[in-house]
Structure 1
Amino acid sequence: MDYEQFRARYQQVFDSIESQPAAHFAPSLAQLRAMAAAIQSPKDRRRAENQIATIGDVLSYDDEPPLSPAMVNAVRAHDRGSADAGTPAERIARAESATIEIGRIADTAGPAEQAAILDLNEPLYMLIMSLESAESR
């Protein structure tokens, strides 16, 4: 993943902040975190992580009710699955495990929330594909 791809997606998310409630952005933030983790350059990766933190700060001012317990658990599972520690094989296994856990959480959530929870799997799939591609080189 290169920084410019991340930057384009980041800008889309950032530009839409005023038009959506904070809870709407959980999947987008998860996707941005996964994209940032896949950036090769440490300098660009740090810059991307700082930009994600900026979105988090902006969203923290939103007075929306807190996320549901199901969404909180799904975001935590996503964060564990997208952690950048370990070998590519370990990271792939962790991401695959997180997608399964997120699926189970979505199954227990209400219908209105299921799609948003399942959207957290998309960046994990992207991470898995990126790591598998890197391993095959």
Structure 2
Amino acid sequence: MQYDEFRTAYDPVFDVLDAKTLPDWLPGAVARLKELARWRRRSRTPPHRGVRHRGCRGQAGMTAIGELAEANPGDKSAMLDLNESLYMRVLSLQSGHT
């Protein structure tokens, strides 16, 4: 998998994180991203973005997910589950692991 393929799947998800309502396609897109991320970890493809940039984007994503969770109480638990894996990744980036 090329980085561009991952970004093509990732960008629409990241772009809707600050929306007031979640689009119907979001759960499927998140599942696809998780699969791409698993594949990418196995492939050991070198990162194309700096660690600092990815950590900042991860923190911004966590904030946006938290805000969406507060605005959508019915889906809060599922959304906060997304934050847990993102939080672990941000910690990994901050400790120097890519």
Query: TM-score under structure 2 normalisation?
Result: 0.53
Q: Write out per-residue CA displacement over residues 13-33 of structure 1, whole angstroms, 9 at most, x where no aligned residue.
A: xxxxxxxxxx9xx4x835555
Structure showing greater Rg: 1
Q: Structure 1 regions of 5+ residues with no counterpart?
A: 1-22, 46-83
Matches within 5 A, 1:72-83: none
Question: Secondary structure of the residue that 2:95 maps to in structure 1?
Answer: helix
What residue in structure 2 maps to residue 93 of structure 1? 56
Contact 1:103/1:118 (8 A) holds in 2: yes
What residue in structure 2 maps to residue 108 of structure 1? 71
Matches within 5 A, 1:1-137: 26=27, 29=31, 31-39=34-42, 41-42=44-45, 85-109=48-72, 111-134=73-96
Q: Give the distance between the partners of 1:116 and 1:87, measured in 2 at CA.
A: 29
Q: Structure 2 regions of 5+ residues with no counterpart?
A: 1-23
- Please report the RMSD computed on the Cα atoms of aligned residues, expressed in angstroms: 3.1
Query: TM-score under structure 1 normalisation?
Result: 0.40
Give aligned-pair identity as a percent: 28
Q: Give the distance between the partners of 1:120 and 1:102, measured in 2 at CA.
A: 8
Counterpart of 1:41, as a letter, is R
Contact 1:31/1:122 (8 A) holds in 2: no
